[in-house]
Structure 1
Amino acid sequence: MISNQPQVINLSPRSLNIHEINVLTKGLSFIPKPKFHKFDWIKDVNLFTRKIALHKFHSLQMEKTAKRYDLAPSDMECLNTLIALLEENGDDTGNTGYTNLRPKSTFTPHIGEYSNIETFCTLVCQEIEKLDEHSVNASVPHNITKIELQALKNLGDDKEIVIKKADKGGNIVVLSIEQYRKMVLTILEDSTTYSVLTCNPTMRFSSELMSILTDARGSGVITDKEYDFMKPISPMLATFYALPKIHKKIQPSPGRPIVSGCMNLTQNSSIYIEKILQTLVCQLPSYVRDSKQMLNFLSNCNISNDTLLCSLDVESLYSCIPHDLGLKHVKYYLDTRGEAHSKHTEFVLQLLQFVLTHNFFIFDRTFYRQVTGTAMGTAMAHPMHICIWDGGNNLLLMART
């Protein structure tokens, strides 16, 4: 039987004992049994209660609207579906917005208006308060032995090693801090792809983004909700890390660059661009949604025994494409929407240029900016690259003209 457990590949000078290896083979997503805390449970109950109250609130609003227009509940559901589709697709002038993106709602109905929901929340929280935390923790069996728990602690406390998932294969790689730092700096010292910044540019870049968004909202290109979605509010710094490419069989192992941009300055702008481009990408003749679609396509092809199936791999795809090339081909596909969308096309290209040229991050207390390509992990990277490579050699020839 084939084991699904990952292998542990130790490239560091530190020796791993059997218990440390056993812990690592559980995978980097493994979580030891969490401790019971009353506060966390009561918080979760209140969050669940909010969901129920929101569902009740919107159901009542739907009933009121249905009565006002003398509609059956089923007709009201169909109407809401049509409205949602209209909001998602917009119209030729873009008055309803090109996306349905909006900030996450913080609205909470007054629970007191729904006595049964309020009673449920109160009674459950009272029962949680009666529980003894020590007894509850003792009653739930551990999913890890005490020796393995200590081994996990020892690995976490060791500041001389870095533990990463391998780039491919799902294995776990252990490197010394110097090995990992050297692997990352080998990537970042490529001056054709990255440049060093002298300070944190978040405030300056935020001001530039706000100017772009404010102009777009003022001219009616984006809606207030889209503006609020992309507007930077206390953006976090993106961080840089690398996954060791041990499958390359090269020593020392090269790394795959990853920018972790969760809640960073351009995250939501990138999501907006991805939404716009994805509608175009799905219409391209060369677009393949996933492996299942590819298999269905091949099953309908008459392939002879002497046919060779080939695939192409682009080395360093996310960092090798010049920004002007990306903008050129994205503009080509945006222009296919027609003159009615010209203002929106201009805005998307301006926003895309900002996202491409303001991809900055921190590593080892130093700020960097990526000067070519896109960050691996940003939402708009995938559809943008499909736009660029669609047509294969024809697009490559266009890039040389």
Structure 2
Amino acid sequence: INMSSIQIPDKVKSFLQLGGNFSLPVTNRTNLTTEFIINFQNNLRKLPPEKRIAVRNRSIGIINSIPSYQYPRTKTHNLLLHLNKITNDFLNDNQNLIIIRADKGNITISLDKDIYIRKIEELLKDDETYMVVDRNPINKLISNLRGLLMRWKNNNYITQATYRSLSYSEGSLPRAYGLPKVHKPECPFRLIVSSIDGPLYQLAVFLHKIMIKDFPSAHSSIENSFELIKKLNNVQLDSDYKLISLDVISLFTNIPIDLAVDSVSNRWEYIKNSTDFPKSEFLLGVKMVLNSTFFIFNNIYYRQLYGTPMGSPLSPILADIVMQDIENKAL
């Protein structure tokens, strides 16, 4: 969908409609090897430390074979490469045009860059939720993380391998971006924060894996709409009953941190079976993640003032258990 002020040629449109995940033919094997190694290393960090060496050793042969592999070239490949060049040239000539995906559905959107930035900055002007910070806080975050991990290692709560996997030496502050809600009137934007390369991302993943192992599901939990239909299939309701659906607006930014910590603390009987941490140290790790709500947009540093951090792997499970507790109290 072209929502920009720029007329986009049909060939460029057809290429952009393929989407960001479409795999193009390989043209530069040197770059391919480098990109493969980078992506491989990023995904390797998701594995348990004790399995990484074996997986890395098995990858050596694959990496060495990349430069000599004979990639097929067909008319389709040549057409895709031609369209790719046309599209890149067009985008280079139109620097104010950005291409993003829609919030829902497999839809590619083109927007004027200045309008996109203005809409995101309007969201960030909510001074009850966000504030501008003067300097990049990443060094302080790294220092606090290093101190916590060093204490955990010295007290044998984590192994040396885990210490290395959770440590952070290079990367960047989480970055914010927006996705247009084309299915809603006036096309509002959803603010997204990507923390994958952030300093506390691996710590959040580590804590999440511990919590997810033994947490019981809520009695009201359902997997999808099909399961809901199955559960309601034989339920008889009076004519004056109504089935309603409730939604929480901006869920993560509306979860109070103290409630999130309390919800974790109240489930310690489940967590303690999956970790060597004492309760106090585990909660310190959770609090560190919850208080690391810094991100950057358009070269400006922000801090999220309220709620669990957007983009953190820990936020979904914390939001879930807080909502469980609220539901239990309400019912």
Tell me if TM exceeds 0.5.
yes
1:381 match? 315
- Whether 2:108 is the aligned partner of 1:172: answer yes
Deviations 1:203-252 (A, max 9, x none): 211111111222223333333333332222323322110101222212xx
CA distance in 1, matches of 2:17, 2:263: 44
Percent identity between the two aligned chains: 23
Compared CA separation, residues 183 and 340, structure 1 to 2 (3 A): closer
* 2:104 is aligned with 1:162: no
1:32 aligns with 2:24: yes
Matched, 1:231 2:164: no
CA-to-aligned-CA distance 1:62-100 (integer Å, 9 cap, x gap): xxxxxxxxxxxxxxxxxxxxxxxxxxxxxxxxxxxxxx9
User: How far apart, CA to CA, are the structure 2 residues paired with 1:152 and 1:126?
Assistant: 27
Corresponding residue of 2:208: 274
Structure 1's 127 and 241: CA in aligned 2 closer, same or farther, altered over 3 A? closer
Q: What is aligned with 1:302?
A: 235
> 1:278 aligns to what SS in structure 2?
helix
**Measured at CA, do residues 304 and 393 of structure 1 come closer, stay the same or move farther in structure 2, by a change above 3 Å?**
closer
Asked whether the equivalents of residues 277 and 384 of structure 1 are also in contact (C-alpha less than 8 Å), the reply is no
- State yes or no: 1:185 paired with 2:118: no
Q: How does 1:246-257 map to 2 (within 5 A)?
A: 246-250=182-186, 253-257=187-191
Cα offset, 1:264, TM superposition:
1.3
Could you tell me which residue of structure 2 aligns to residue 203 of structure 1?
A: 139
Cα-to-partner distance string for 1:148-168 (whole Å, 9 max, x where unaligned) = 334411443121012111112
Q: Tell me which residue corresponds to 1:74.
A: none
- 1:105 alignment partner AA: R
CA drift of 1:294 comes to: 4.5
1:333 is matched with: 267
C-alpha displacement at 1:104, in angstroms?
Answer: 6.8
Query: Letter of the aligned partner of 1:272 in structure 2?
Result: F
With normalisation by structure 2, the TM-score equals 0.80
Question: Secondary structure of the residue that 1:390 maps to in structure 2?
Answer: helix
Structure 2: 5+ residue stretches without partners: 41-46
Instruction: Please name the residue that 1:355 is paired with.
Output: 289
**Matched AA of 1:236:** S
| Equivalent residue letter for 2:149 | L
For 1:191 and 1:109, how far apart are their aligned partners in 2? 46
- For 1:315 and 1:126, the matched residues in 2 are separated by 47
Over aligned residue pairs, what C-alpha RMSD do you find? Answer: 3.8
| Alignment partner of 1:265 is 2:199 | yes
1:126 and 1:188 mapped to 2: Cα distance?
A: 44
Specify the alignment match of 2:9 in structure 1. Answer: 17
Tell me the amino acid that sits aligned with residue 194 of structure 1: Y
Gaps in structure 1 of 5+ consecutive residues: 1-7, 49-99, 112-117
- Relative to structure 1, the CA distance from residue 294 to residue 267 in structure 2 (aligned partners, 3 Å threshold; closer, same or farther) is farther
Distance 2:15 2:57 in 1: 46
Report the counterpart of residue 142 of structure 1 in structure 2: 77
Provide the residue aligned with 1:364 in structure 2: 298
Letter in 2 for 1:274: H
Counterpart Cα distance in 1 of 2:294 and 2:105: 29
Q: Is the 8 A contact 1:319 1:374 kept in 2?
A: yes
The partner residue of 1:128 within 45, 68, 71 is: 68
SS of the aligned residue for 2:79 comes to coil
Equivalent position to 2:52, from 100, 105, 108: 105
Largest Rg, 1 or 2:
1
Question: What displacement does 1:302 show?
Answer: 3.0
Offset, 1:314: 0.5
| From 317, 324, 327, the counterpart of 1:390 | 324
Q: How many residues align?
A: 319
Q: Is the 8 A contact 2:102 2:179 kept in 1?
A: yes
Displacement of 1:360: 1.6
Return the alpha-carbon distance in structure 2 between the equivalents of residues 20 and 320 of structure 1.
Answer: 41
3-state SS, counterpart of residue 32 of structure 1: coil
Q: 1:146 to 1:355 in 2, by over 3 A?
A: closer
